[in-house]
Structure formats: C-alpha cells, structure tokens
Amino acid sequence: MATKSYIQNRWKYNRPQAIAFANDYGVLDDGLLVPNGNEFEDFIILSDDNRGEISVTPTRIENRKRMINGTMRSYHIADKNTYSVNWDMLPSRSHSGDPDYSDLGIANSTLTKYTSDGGAGGVEIVKWYEDHPGPFYMFLSYDRYDKFTSSQYDNLRKYNDVVHVYFSSFDFNVVKRGGTNFDFWNINLSLEEV
C-alpha cells in the first residue's frame, strides 16, 4: 500500500513527477495526497523523461444567446478541461525487471533503471490505457499555489490537482529498437475531464 514515505521515496528531485494515474481519488497522509493501493496495479507514476508540455485546454459549457435588445445572455454550467501530453524517445520499460518496490517505495537495487526517475515506461502506459476504457483519476503536480488554502507558497512537493478523466485519444510509435534492453517509444495521449 502506498504511504507518504512510499510516494516521497519514489520522487527523484524531492518533488513528485508531473503526472500519476490512479483508480481512485487517494487519501491524505499527513497533508500529502497519496494514491491508494499498489503501484502498477492501482496507480502508476508516469516518467518525466523526455516528456513534452502538458497542454490544458478549457471548454466552457454554457448556453449563450443574444437577446432581442442585442445584448448577450449566458447560462454557465461548468468548465471542463482537455489535457494533452506526449513523450519522445521514452524507454519501453522502466526497469530491467519487476521493480518490486518495498513498503518505503525503494526499488530492488539489483535492477537497472531505464527511466531516470523510475516512472512508468511505454509498456506500462499502454497497459494502463488498455486496462482503463472507463474513467480514472489523474494526479497533477505543477505550480498552482492558488489551489491551496494555507501555506500557498510551500506546496510544490504536493499533487495540486486531481482530475477525473477518460482517454480521448492515445497512440504510440516504436521509434528505435534498443538492442537487448528496451526500445524507444513516442507516446501521445489526450484526456478529457469527466
């Protein structure tokens, strides 16, 4: 089971990777939002290796009509976002074998790590896509201090946004075969907020 210590030991730069996928919303553990369950089964932490920008495109759901006097009236229902992200030359696997993370989030030390941060490689991302035709949660970590009500400027070490999403598009290309260790993949995905 993931705990605060587990998640913090999975961070390479004392800050979470930008994106994690999870089956549920997670729990607060001493002020840190932590995904429930076991990594690679109930959640995955995506690698930041060669990750492109995270593009957020808001869509305003509203009914807008022009009135008889020429003014505009709008009935706002909600704002929903579409998220797009891609990886170039991402290793097809995160480790040379099953990382078998300990309860503290430390991988088996005899393995070779192919992604520099130990985050999910191409195969793990494709498996998540194949196993999740329905909605799931996406944890995001980027500087949105306005999402916190207290200690606003001291929260870079936390996931600041948890969004319920569906895959709206997904594709990958095997760019380069990597000998006997792994291949390099390009992955493009788009997620739509529920």
Number of domains in the chain: 1
Q: In angstroms, what CA-CA distances link 1 with 40, 127, 159?
A: 12, 20, 18
- Mean pLDDT score across all residues of the chain: 91
pLDDT score at 42: 96
Closest alpha carbon to 160 in 169, 151, 171: 151
pLDDT score at 120: 96
The alpha carbon torsion through 183, 126, 115, 24 (nearest 10 deg) reads -170
Closest alpha carbon to 191 in 155, 153, 151, 137: 137
Domain ranges, residue 52: 4-193
DSSP element (H, E) containing 9? helix 4-9
User: Is the pLDDT confidence value at 33 over 90?
Assistant: no
Pairing type for strands 19-22 and 43-45 reads antiparallel
137 and 23 in contact (C-beta within 8 Å)? Answer: yes
User: Is the pLDDT confidence value at 1 over 90?
Assistant: no
